[in-house]
Structure 1
Amino acid sequence: MQNNLIMIQGLVDHIEENLSEDVNIVSLAKSLNLSPWHFQRVFKSLIGDTLGGYVRGRRLTRAAQLLLSSDFGILDIAFDVGFTSHEAFTRSFKSYYKVTPKSFKKDKPVVTLNRKPILTTDLYIHLTKYMVQEPFIDIRKAQTIVGVPTKIPSPFVADEQHCDLLFPTWIKLFDRQSEIANRIKNKHYSVSISPSGNFTEATVDYIAAVPVTKLSDIPEDLTSYTFPKQLVAIFDIAIIEKDTIDKTIDYIYGYWLPNSPYTRAKGEDYESFDNFSLDGDPLNKSQYILPLQLKE
């Protein structure tokens, strides 16, 4: 636990001192002996924002400070905090503060500027207060799924609520699941797949699917994916809400995994659902599953 706090606090300090530098998630994760996925999840669980979102917010906060207290020109400030063009800076600043940098500098509005976070163990207590849970550790057999593919914003790039984006995909699956041969009834899966394996691209592949006992001809516009036989941790999720999965993942990567005898193995995290419905049934339950290997 303390190692994660020290690691992320050191990164936060470095970002603060070098706001104009590009942040390479892959290199950062490698230097800390973590996968990009694991690193970004640890960061988000402790900071409350993705690494990209955090850096963007700190740059814009620093820019606002300079606009209010210095005589630097807008373009100079943009370059100073890491933006490569006046247009990109203006667009981001207006999105964040709801006014252009020019108007902000001229009118000098009274705003509360975000401070750099200082991490303490109190944050872990907050994360785990209502999430005291241990997963079931199991060796899962290989499982093939067939379902509806789509593209969604990467969870580490965009702030969009994925539930709303995914609803049409699930409707399509429910409309067409009867076409899928050898499907296991009353069981559904979902998985997000990063083409690079690092979740650093703007969009990732998402599949809403049903498991099958064997793979036959795949209906048009549908796709298949196979989870390999592997050691996994299975977390039960009692109620499915918009932020339930995010809270669970934050708990897993921010607290449970660092304090367990395991590390994340290669492969995809995924969800499975029993008797899933689209009507918002409060009895909907799911399992969040991630691949594991024992720490060396």
Structure 2
Amino acid sequence: MHAWEAVQKSVDYIEEHLQENIRAEVLAEIAGLSPFYFQRLFKRLVNKPLQEYVKLRRLAEAIDTLNTGNPRILDVALDYGFASHSNFTRAFKDTYGITPEEYKKHRPLLNTFVKPILSLGYEMADEGVPLIVENIILEIRREHLDTPEVYLGLSADVSITAQTPVGERTGIDVPGQLWISYHKEKKAIDQYIHPNIELGMSYSADEEKETFSYFAGGLAKNIPQKLNGGFVQQELPEGDYIVCSIEAESFEELVSSALDQAGKYLFSTWLPRHGLTTKPFSAEKYNMTLQETNRMEIWVAPVTLSKE
């Protein structure tokens, strides 16, 4: 058994027992490792210490529970292993920047830590051949765009450090909130955009400010002389691309855990192993005219890594 397979067993166990007491010794036994070596290997492969990971997954599941009916915050806290209301509130605010009460009142989208699929760090998808991992289907191909595609939508700055998987931290999901705003306001530009083709783009990283810009919008059918209401124009340039298509069982899973896992796989595993990096942007493309409604694509412009 590979080391990642042993740790994946413990990750799967954690997921099934988030509402129970989880002991490192039990997890180590499941993985067939000593407690000391298990915790070192877990941190290396999951990129979080064991207890921190358990806390983040419990908080992520607690958010789902808070969205189901109208449970008492104290009950949710106790169900997920927090000793008290205040202990839960402290952990919640440290992780997401708001209290559970504020979350229940405003219901912002939160950037949570998802359960990892460790095999994605060790499996290699051939171009044009689907890779099936758990409930996700990935397929990678090369694409050439002959002419630029122009999109109209909204843009916002995002903190790099507070946006998983880039910064591996959690907080308000600014791109997700931007999509909500776009879908509420896009009727103002309906006459100019294709109703079923949308694009999200990360670009213009500012290392000094530790931010990048994110755009959410629709494919332009024609371009107005002037854009009002905060709408901006963004372009997917002509050129060569690596395209990673993603399919999942539900749209909610597609734009959360599946997108997170696919992004990590593409940028951390597939591209480096092919001697590639990318130009400083990436795009998420949605085409609702396709039969596979729970499908999207990540578009990146490849650059060959220097051998020096």
TM-score (norm 2): 0.48
Structure index of larger Rg: 1
Question: Which of structures 1 and 2 has the larger relative contact order (alpha carbons within 8 angstroms, sep 6+)?
Answer: 1
TM-score (norm 1): 0.50
